[in-house]
Amino acid sequence: MKNEEENNLVKEPYTEYGRYTYADYLTWEIDHMVELIKGKVFRQAAAAPRRIHQEVSGRIFAKFYTHLERKECKVYAAPFDVRLPVKSRKHEDITTVVQPDICVVCDPEKLDDLGCVGAPDLIMEILSPSNNKKELQNKYEVYEESGVLEYWIIHPYEKTLLFYTLTDRKYVPSKLFTLGDRVPSHCIEGFVLDLDELFEGME
């Protein structure tokens, strides 16, 4: 009986080696958020995001929510699973599952009870001291490969924003935006992010 119980326990995923799928991901019972990028596990910090991260995320979500009200596009904030399939939508074939800080999905067929399966139209990631490499390198690659139309990166401590637009299946970077700039989206019609408003009162 004891051996049977041990075999039924969900094991902690290894980050050093191994290749996992969304089917594995669904079985894990762990206290902190993890993401899968091409089968490799990336753990989030055990502590909650810092206050400025939460303020920036909340303000952007509120602006998107108001802008998209009564429209087909929907906005979601982390934690929200985005599965990026390559071969098929089967759980055992998906090896990339991410939780973007903000994402906008305009195709309702990509939404199900578990989140989003397929590339959102727009993804925003808010940098923190511990996740810059993952956002700037690993996620850049999978977002480009999977067809995310716009990938926005916000640095809340430097009060800057850079975004990539998918052109001929490759990302083209914008200029670096900062205070005083108003940043329009090319894929979400009419959406403009005013950086003075976004960072007002933040130290």
pLDDT at 3 over 50: no
Tokens for 91?
């759980």
| Residue from 132, 188, 134, 143 nearest 170 by CA | 143
Q: What is the pLDDT of residues 19-64, one digit of tens each?
A: 899 999 999 877 677 888 999 888 765 556 788 999 999 999 999 9
Least confident span in 15-24, 156-165, 186-195: 15-24
d(CA 114, CA 163): 27
Tokens 């205070």 found at: 179
d(CA 71, CA 2): 54
Mean of per-residue pLDDT scores for the chain: 88
Q: What is the pLDDT of residues 66-92, one digit of tens each?
A: 999 999 999 999 999 999 998 899 999
d(CA 186, CA 192): 10
pTM: 0.87
> What share of the chain in percent tops pLDDT 70?
85
- Residue 169 CB partners (closer than 8 Å, separation 6+): 144, 147
d(CA 177, CA 124): 14
- Compute CA distances 108 → 1, 33, 58, 72, 74, whole Å: 46, 26, 23, 8, 8
